[in-house]
Amino acid sequence: MTAQVKREKSDLNCANKSTQYVKNCGKMLKRDFPILILSLFILCGFFAFMQHAFRASVTIEEQALTKNSIKSVEANTVVLPAAEVFFGDELFEKELQSRQLIEPKDSREVKVFTESTNKVKNETLGQRLKKLLKCNDRPLRLEKIQYGSYWLLRNYIRGTISTSTGCADTVTLTTNGDYTFFDSLPFLTERWLAPISFALFAPGYDFEATLNSIQFVRNCLRESKSIRDYVTFHIYFPATDMPEYAPITEKEAISWPYDCDAQPPYVDVDRSTMYKTEHNMTYPINVGRNIARKSANTYFIFASDIELYPTPELPRLFLELVERNRSVYLDNKELRVYTLPVFEVTKDSQVPESKTELVEMLHKHKAIPFHSKICKNCHLVPRHNEWVNSTDANELSLFSQTKREGKFRYWEPFYISDNQEPMFDERVTWEGQSNKRIQGYAMCLMKYDYFVLHPAFLTHTPGIKYFDKNATRLSYVPAMNKLIKTVIQPEYHILYGKKNKKCFT
């Protein structure tokens, strides 16, 4: 074989090997192509991740620098102290978190800081609150309406200032009674100095005595100007027990004759001679409470008893609290009211003007928690001892919070509200008792929160109350309890929420 033939044969072998190599490479590429694509994708993802991580590290460093700069500014800035310390339920805590407020590690205690308000020059507190509360003004006007089985003269005689009070200008105290309770009205009015909605039960000839009493307190006392300014009177009576005569208009009613030299018509009344007593009528206390509530023209009300005296300037202090603390008017699902502790003082004592004075009286046993001798747990507020020992203050704050459950299942608090809580059940009378507890039962079913205010409080007319086992009203209690258990409570389970073992009447 010549050298040339050997070279040609060698070249042919190489060509065959190259062709085979290409074929083999094609087969390998076809087999491994998906794996190559996946590897490329992973590689790209890795580079993207590294780039993102680098940017994140830069951002964190920038934030750290920003925080350090903020701290350096805050070091030279006067920081406002926390306005309120209070306890909130789980839903309320979520609301606070959404507002970027810090929740301490001990769970339920939350600090709510003062929030700045854009104050317009010459704009009053009431005008600012009206925007926040989104309420509408409603002037008072005389109405004669049928209210169930009663005739109601709503806004029969109006307080001059109360007539045109704006919805957010103040707080209306709503109360009830008959004319024998007028001796408490002058001091209460001077203490409150804001609108009072007063519903009066005046069947038959009690109507005349009621009108005589209204005229006397409006015209014959040192406090008469305040009463004319702030107190609006509503009179109601059963359709079956009408007065013989009633002035047609407010102008005619305030022209009713009076004698300032005579003894006040509401003093030393022989109750056995009253129309209500002679006709064996029970006192429909919850009818009066509801009339007074429904007749108020302010956003916030304070449903109270006429013999309970609040600390001075409470309406102003509460509205200032509202402006400082958005939790009072947040438009959300939480239901809440604002409770005041209640106290009694001995008959020879004066009603305390401040918490400092109250604490001194408590130490001297001149004052005790309300109804301590009758039903101690009915009026004690949560953390009572801490409340008493807390330092007096010039501003109102939210001190503690609870629901009407457990230790407080029989609680009968008096509170400021937005007037949206359930109405008082009008089948429950004063004589049958439980007239406030049945409303508390409904509010328990609705899971209301009760926030206790500090340092404001209520004081009952001087004189310690004791249980009277011979009281005639006790004969009404068994029948009323049966009505509550067999009729009212089952209705409430349908209206306000299913039966809850934590809720009691």
pLDDT of residue 105: 31
* Per-residue model confidence as pLDDT tens digits over 204-227: 999 999 999 999 999 999 999 999
pLDDT of residue 377: 83
pLDDT of residue 128: 94
Across 1-10, 34-43, 92-101, 106-115, the highest mean pLDDT is recorded for 34-43
Q: Mean of the pLDDT values across residues 147-151?
A: 97
pLDDT of residue 46: 61
pLDDT of residue 470: 80
Q: Mean of the pLDDT values across residues 266-294?
A: 96
* Per-residue model confidence as pLDDT tens digits over 57-89: 544 444 443 444 434 434 444 433 333 333 333
Q: What is the percentage of the chain residues whose pLDDT exceeds 70?
A: 75
**Residue 52 binned pLDDT confidence (cut-offs 50, 70, 90):** low
Across 3-17, 59-73, 434-448, the highest mean pLDDT is recorded for 434-448
- For residue 44, pLDDT over 50 is answered with yes
Q: What is the mean pLDDT of the chain?
A: 84
Joined together, the tokens standing for residue 469 give: 């086992």
Is 302 in contact with 174 (CB distance < 8 Å)? yes
233 three-state secondary structure: strand
* 405-434 residues labelled b (16+ CB within 10 A) or e (exposed): eeebbebbbbbbbbbebbebbbbbbbbbbb
Distance (Å, whole) CA 455 – CA 341: 9
**Residue with more model confidence, 296 or 11:** 296
Q: How do the domains of the chain map onto residue ranges?
A: 92-116+327-505, 123-306
pLDDT of residue 402: 93
pLDDT of residue 375: 85
* Per-residue model confidence as pLDDT tens digits over 88-97: 333 334 443 4
Contact residues for 287 (Cβ-Cβ < 8 A; gap 6+)? 147, 148, 150, 199, 201, 236, 426
Helical packing angle, 125-133 and 314-324, nearest 10°: 50
Give the bridge partners for 110, in sequence order.
86
**Residue 22 binned pLDDT confidence (cut-offs 50, 70, 90):** low
**Residue with more model confidence, 433 or 134:** 134
Across 12-16, 98-102, 118-122, 470-474, the highest mean pLDDT is recorded for 470-474
Report which of 152, 162, 158 is spatially closest to residue 253, judged by C-alpha positions: 158
Distance (Å, whole) CA 351 – CA 358: 8
Joined together, the tokens standing for residue 266 give: 């509401």
Distance (Å, whole) CA 339 – CA 450: 6
* Per-residue model confidence as pLDDT tens digits over 157-192: 999 999 999 999 999 999 999 999 999 999 999 999
Per-residue CA distances from 458 to 2, 251, 314, 353, 439 (Å):
131, 35, 10, 10, 20
* Per-residue model confidence as pLDDT tens digits over 312-330: 999 999 999 999 987 777 6
pLDDT of residue 419: 96
Distance (Å, whole) CA 133 – CA 148: 32
**Residue 263 binned pLDDT confidence (cut-offs 50, 70, 90):** very high
Amino acid sitting at position 317: L
Is 117 in contact with 323 (CB distance < 8 Å)? yes
Joined together, the tokens standing for residue 235 give: 């009179």
